[in-house]
Structure 1
Amino acid sequence: MRAIALAAVLLLAACGSAGSVAARGASPSASPARQPATLPSASAAPTLRTFIDRDMGFKLDLPDPWRPSSCNEPPRTDGGIYIGRADFVVVDELHETGTDVGHQYASVGVTVTDNKGGLSPRQWIEMGKIGTTAGTALQDVRFAGRAAVQLVPGGTYVFADTGRMWAVGTDLHADPSLKSAADAVTASFGLLTDDELAAARLGATPSPAPRGLDDVVNGLAAGFARKDADALATFMSDCFGNALENAGATFVTRAKEVADLRTAFASGLTVAVAVKPVKGDASLGSAAIGSAWSGDGQPARSIDLSLREDAGRWRWVATIRLQH
């Protein structure tokens, strides 16, 4: 149980926690997945796309090859506090990876959370609610049509709107060649109007059908028995974690994990899944099943397949390699 809980924490820290979905100014409601819309920009070059996030209620322009992270998940509530985050990355799905402390490539991040104390952006920063480094200066600016504070250097903008605090900024990871493009993505940020939110909701993709724990357990057992990576992909989360028991975790996209499994199967990997017992407390939306991996030139190992339920739909979210 401790290993399962640790892996879940690490995965959530790396990929963002799933939970309720809410548009700006609305109350959260359950949803299993973020439902963004990426539309052609009427006023930009063909390679520029306007991304609309109908969950958090914002939009921005993405030049190629920038795209929404595959590890973005819906906003959630934690202790009654609304928290949302979305990242935009410059790498493709097969190269999007990271650890429980983040990733190592350029990104633009958008965060929003409840501002229950009615703090100003400057007060918010000075209270340590946003990380800063020694020598960071605070500059009063206008951003997204609102009074904001910019962190200099770094470029993150912090502003308040309708009871929530927003932060929008870039992380270049020592790649200055991407500064111009990242700054342009940040500068294009805007909150959706009520009419834009209503239009975005009309185009929302229907929520996936509920899926039971037994369906996922039996589906994984059958998929591994057939060495069918594509079948296994249907049970995976978009952002997939690989952890070592009582240690750190890495995350990759579903596309990368499926590609790695396909290669491993071709190299002789055999996985025997134990459908019973199911570990953990399924009533809390978290469970795991055991499996034995061998035959691919690596030492035989015991790996738990970590499962999670969101809005009635169970998914395979991570592997946890046991240390025994």
Structure 2
Amino acid sequence: MQSIISYGLAVGAVYALIGITYNVMYSASRVFSFTAGMLGMLGGVLGALFIDKLGINAVVGFVLVLACGALLGIITEIVTVRPVLKSIEQHLYVLSTLAFALMIQQVTAIEWGTDAQPFPQLIPDGAGSILGFDQKFWLPLLACIVTIAGLEFLYRRTLVGRAFLAIAEDSYAARALGLPETRLRMASFAIAGIIGTLAGFTGAQMLLAFFGNQPILNFYGFVPVALGGMGSNRGAVVGGLALGLFQQAANFLVGGIFAAVAVFSVFIVVLLLRPEGLAGAATARRV
């Protein structure tokens, strides 16, 4: 039972961070970018590359991974989002972001390999255990807590964060007030890139460094967003932790493909009953 709870909460924290990545990109652009899973996958692969293969110090490797995530977030905004926002057919972002994510995945498979590889232990044995929980369990939870606290501080206590909220609430009015929408959107995608690679880095001891993590994180990271309500980071955390616990319980009780069927079934039922998500509010239709 303890292993189900610890593993469920840890993997749920990874899903929650990917869900927050979706939300941060969406709030700044109203674009649902399918690059969140790509960022999570690269967090594990780049971390293993820097620390294990290149022998870089773990702290320096961690910073480099986050810097790569920020850079990829900016590239995503410039290459796949900005041109689409200028187009009449703005739903093309589905194709542009998905194509970019698949391209990065294939490059990763070619350069890194198609086999799952172990992720190096970040903290030495003994020091990495807290209250009997291994570091691979508490690191994602700590990353999730720090991320949600940091975003709350950014959005509620800083002028830049309030500008982000203004863009998310009404981009037209924000532009009329003179807010630099393009730069704010780029900064949001950079923050999303950091959060996405943080999720993959802290969860890689469980998920391994594997290019195939991308579609898994893409889908299971979307479920907390749908459960918690689009744009709600707190809802994504609650949805992600609940998903992780339910998934591990289903793995223990029925196992294999049946666990995935159980997750899909609950997901569909929730969307049918509350399309706006469990923590979301129904949006009024403008006439």
- Fold shared per TM-score above 0.5: no
Larger helix proportion, structure 1 or 2? 2
Q: Which has the higher contact order (CA 8 A, sep 6+)?
A: 2
Bigger Rg, structure 1 or 2:
1
Structure whose residues are more often strand by fraction: 1
TM-score class, shorter: under 0.3
TM-score relative to the length of structure 2: 0.24
